[in-house]
A and B are shown apart, each in its own frame.
Chain A
Amino acid sequence: MIHKKICMVGACGVGKTSLVRRFVETIFDSRYQTTIGVKIDKKSIQANGQDVTLVIWDLAGEDDLAQVRASHLRGASGYLLVADGSRKSTLAAALDLERRIRGVLGPIPFILLVNKSDLTDEWEADEALAGIVRLGWPNLRTSAKTGNGVEAAFQQLACRMLGNPGD
Chain B
Amino acid sequence: MSPARWSRADNGDTLQDEQLSRLRALVMGPALDELNALRNRLDDPTVRAGETSQVIAEAIALRSRRGGELRQALQSSIEEALRISVQRDPHMLANLLFPVIGPAIRKAVASSLTGMLDALNKTLEQSVSVRAVQWRLESWRTGKSFGEIVLLRSLLYRVEQVFLIHKETGLLLGHEVAQSAVVRDADLVSGMLAAIQDFVRDSFAPAEAKDLESIQMGEFQVWVQHGPGALLACVVRGVPPHELGSMIQDRLERIHEQMGAALEDFRGDATPFDAARPILRSCLTGQLEHARRRTPWVLSAAAILLVLAAVTLGYIDFLGQRRWSAYLERLSAEPGIAVTSAQCGIRGCTITGLRDPLAADPNRFLEGSGIAPEKVSARWEPYISPAPQFAAARRLDAHKEAVELQGVFFKTASAQVAPEALWPVANELHLLLEAASAAGRQVNVELSGWTDASGLEAVNAKLGQERADRVASELAALGIPAGRLVSRAGGVSKSGTGGPKDWSRRRVTFRVVPAP
Contact = CB atoms under 8 A, between A and B. Distances in A.
Interface string B245-289: 000000000000000000000011110000000000000000000
A71 B171 contact: no
A37 interface: yes
A42 B195 contact: no
Interface string A41-69: 11000000000110101000000000001
B318 interface: no
B185 interface: yes
A57 B171 contact: no
Given A38-B195, A69-B202, A3 B170 contact: no
B166 interface: yes
Contact of A37 (B170, B171, B195): B195
Interface in B158-180: 166, 168-172
A5 B195 contact: no
Contacts of A40: 188, 191-192, 195
Nearest to A162: B268
Interface residues of A, number: 21
Interface in B194-222: 195, 198-199, 201-202
Nearest to A161: B268
B198 A5 contact: no
B187 interface: yes
A76 B268 CA distance: 10
Contacts of A52: 268
Given A5-B171, A40-B188, A55-B171, A72 B195 contact: yes
A1 B191 CA distance: 17
Contacts of B172: 3
B270 A74 contact: no
Given A42-B187, A55-B187, A4 B198 contact: no
Nearest to B188: A40
B268 A71 contact: no
Contacts of A4: 171, 268
A37 B199 contact: yes
Most-contacted residue by chain B among A2, A38, A40 (CB, 10 A) = A40
B191 A57 contact: yes
Contact of B270 (A3, A41, A69, A72): A3
Contacts of A75: 166, 168-171
A5 B170 contact: yes
Nearest to A77: B268
B169 A76 contact: yes
Nearest to A38: B195
B187 A3 contact: yes
A45 B39 CA distance: 67
A126 to B, nearest CB: 36
Contacts of A69: 198-199, 202
Contact of A72 (B171, B187, B198, B269): B198
A41 B187 CA distance: 8
A55 B191 contact: yes
B483 to A, nearest CB: 106
Contacts of A2: 267-269
Interface string A1-22: 1111100000000000000000
Contacts of A53: 187
Interface in B65-93: none
Contacts of B191: 5, 40, 42, 55, 57
Interface string A76-112: 1100000000000000000000000000000000000
B188 A42 contact: yes
B108 to A, nearest CB: 33
B168 A42 contact: no
B272 to A, nearest CB: 12
Contacts of B166: 75
Given A40-B192, A42-B188, A55-B171, A3 B202 contact: no
A3 B171 contact: yes
Contacts of B170: 5, 55, 57, 75
Most-contacted residue by chain B among A1, A37, A41, A55 (CB, 10 A) = A55
A69 to B, nearest CB: 6
B491 to A, nearest CB: 112
Contacts of A72: 195, 198
Contacts of B199: 37-38, 69, 71
A57 B171 CA distance: 11
A69 B195 CA distance: 10
A150 B172 CA distance: 26
Contacts of B169: 5, 74-77
Contacts of A41: 188
Contacts of B171: 3-5, 55, 75
A69 B203 CA distance: 10
B185 A71 contact: no
Contacts of B192: 40
B198 A42 contact: no
Given A3-B172, A5-B171, A76-B169, A71 B198 contact: yes
B190 to A, nearest CB: 8
Nearest to A75: B169
Contacts of A3: 171-172, 187, 268-270
A74 B207 CA distance: 15
A33 B170 CA distance: 25
11 contacts: A1-B270, A2-B267, A5-B191, A37-B195, A38-B199, A40-B192, A40-B195, A72-B198, A74-B169, A75-B166, A75-B169
User: Considering the complex of A and B, which 10 residue pairs feature the smallest CB-CB distances, nearest first?
Assistant: A75-B169, A40-B191, A71-B198, A75-B168, A2-B268, A5-B169, A3-B268, A38-B195, A3-B171, A4-B268
Given A74-B168, A77-B169, 7 more contacts: A3-B172, A40-B195, A52-B268, A55-B187, A69-B199, A71-B201, A74-B169
